[in-house]
Chains A and B, each alone.
Chain A
Amino acid sequence: MPSRFLASRLIDLIIVLLGVSVVVFLMIRLIPGDAVAIMLGANTEITPERIAELRARVGLDQPLLVQYGNWIWGALQGNLGTSIWTGRPVTDEIAANIWPTVELTLLSVLFGAGLAIPLGAFMAEARGKGAEVAVRIGAIAGLTIPSFWLGIVSIFLVAKLLPGVSALGYVPFAQDPLGNLSRMVLPVIALSLPMLANLSRLVRSAMLDALSQDYIRTAKAKGAGRRRIIYKHALRNALIPFITSVGVSAGYLLGGAIVIEQVFAIPGLGRLVLGAIAERNYPLVQATILVMTTAFVVVNFLVDLLYAVIDPRVSR
């Protein structure tokens, strides 16, 4: 990979992350009215001393630029502020809740992307007008089924058909591997369905495109089998758009995970951020959004680099 390409992508990454940090930083300052009074309002009596104390603790008593400087400097050292209610560092709260979300998202990517390839290849064999329409309607339906509804309906069906099986909650993998994975089945299916619909349609069209190319005819002429042609030759052609879509889907999955965690009572970052909004714990809201967005941006940065490895033309 040429270093100039890497350098220009790195600069892009830094600019976007800086921008993201400014947006997240300004969030708390844009709250209409006195954010500190609102933060205090829910649980305690508001006194001027309390307001002044909290204002100093959150750092709202300094000029805006100084505030941002301090905040970003702390963030770079892993200090994202303290939770207003518990007084613990928000990074502790995030660390305590991050694994269920990471697991849910990763399993969904694996499931959605993994199944999309054989499904897309299978769909590419279906030709003709009826098949075209069926594939199209199926893909759109997959994209537009509300995943949280699918989750709710599946919980209902499990409760009715398999009484005694618990579909809700979360058990750490280290504690009970089987219990962990069995509780992940429904959330993963619900979360990855739109991605599966999108990716398998993409694999199908890229394959159809490839199958009409000369090099496939050559491969056929040389006597390569059907499986070999599809998986070895045609699939390569689908790789770049496929990886792009997986990268973009990561953002959808992170957002969707917030909703799915709520449906299945999984104690992840989604529940953390929703709870933080309900109790107006703004430093925690900020930190969670910053961490999740940074993860998404970095994933897409890595995806960008991956193209250059797969297809050297990209980095020229």
Chain B
Amino acid sequence: MMAFISKNKLLSFAVGFVVLQVLLALLAPFIGLQDPYAQVMVQRMKGPNALNLLGTDQLGRDVLARIIYGYRTSLATCTVAVGLALIAGGTLGMLAAYYRGWFDRIVMRMMDVLFAFPIMLLAIGVIAVLGPSTWSAAIAIAIVYTPIFARLLRGPALVICESEYVTGARAIGASDARIIFLHLLPNLASVVLVQTSLLLSAAILVEASLSFLGLGAQPPIPSLGLMLSEGRNFLLLSPWPAVFAGFAILFLSFGFNLLGDALRDTLDPRLRKEG
């Protein structure tokens, strides 16, 4: 695996970039950061300096610490959201492809309806029902991405179900569960890996937008979207928190998108597109 990654420069860069950010988020409490909640009023709205490498926000909190903890909030929310969507949408898409017939038609119709909503709008609707919070944002993103996973996995699953080895497995009397878990799932792994990475990248932007609108993480939770909306109010006095929080969102989303893109090239050369 390692040799395989190091052969491809772009992929190894993407993996390194993502792993670095995820490690920072995971290890946040152990890398000597300041307390992201601690307010030092005399140190408000300072630019980058020796004490606060990325400066401080309007309440005198350390921007670097809030950004790294913001990564935690963002990654946790998006991982839960995309994970739930993968389980729900992936299962529905796979079963629809496997059983075909009326089950397929009803499930995919329902997915069409959810898919018909603009992403942000459906997420906002879900949050209007659940009330703003990190959990609501996660559930909203999960609901929005469920039809996407269902559609993405149904197509390849249909092809695999028609293949000779599945027909063969059926002929020797393999059970539905055996075919689904032993033949269908492993062959979908590369599609799942690529799409999960790409959708995580998009989810990070959606989560940041929702928090920015006040519909996701609530103060005083460290959140990248929230930092942008708070920073906006003090933009002319101190642009630093908003500027750095924006870069953080960009880096995180960019990393996962590049990873998905490079993985697609490497895992399935048939899918390769120019540029």
Which residues of B lie under 8 Å from residue A143 when comparing CB positions?
257
Dominant secondary structure of chain B at its interface with chain A: helix
Stretch in contact with the other chain, from B23-31, B60-68, B75-83, B206-214: B206-214
Q: Is the CB of B212 within 8 A of A153?
A: no
A68 within 8 A of B: no
Q: How far is the CA of A179 from the CA of B87 in the complex (A)?
A: 50
Q: Is the CB of B246 within 8 A of A209?
A: no
A46 within 8 A of B: no
B128 within 8 A of A: yes
Q: Is the CB of A19 within 8 A of B116?
A: yes
B152 within 8 A of A: no
Nearest A-chain residue to B117, judged by Cβ: A293
Residues of B within 8 A of A (CB-CB), count: 47
Which residues of A lie under 8 Å from residue B250 when comparing CB positions?
141, 144-146, 149
CB A247 to nearest CB in B, in angstroms, measures 12
Q: Is the CB of A205 within 8 A of B274?
A: yes
Q: Is the CB of A255 within 8 A of B119?
A: yes
Which residues of B lie under 8 Å from residue A189 when comparing CB positions?
none
Q: Is the CB of B242 within 8 A of A152?
A: yes
Dominant secondary structure of chain A at its interface with chain B: helix
Q: Is the CB of B254 within 8 A of A141?
A: yes
Q: Is the CB of A282 within 8 A of B228?
A: no
A15 within 8 A of B: yes
Cβ contacts B1-45/A at 8 Å (1 or 0 each) = 000000000100000000000000000000000000000000000
Q: How far is the CA of A277 from the CA of B130 in the complex (A)?
A: 11
CB B113 to nearest CB in A, in angstroms, measures 3
- In the assembled complex, 12 residue pairs joining A and B whose CB atoms fall closer than 8 Å, in A order, are A133-B10, A140-B254, A140-B258, A143-B257, A146-B209, A146-B246, A152-B228, A254-B120, A255-B118, A274-B213, A293-B121, A296-B117
A residues adjacent to B (C-beta < 8 A): 15-17, 19-20, 22-24, 27-28, 30-32, 123, 132-133, 135-137, 139-141, 143-146, 148-150, 152-153, 155-156, 159-160, 201, 204-205, 208-209, 251-252, 254-256, 258-259, 262-263, 273-274, 277, 282, 285, 289, 292-293, 296-297
B residues adjacent to A (C-beta < 8 A): 10, 109-110, 112-114, 116-122, 124-125, 127-130, 201, 205, 208-209, 212-215, 228, 231-232, 235-236, 239, 242-243, 245-246, 249-250, 253-254, 257-258, 261, 273-275
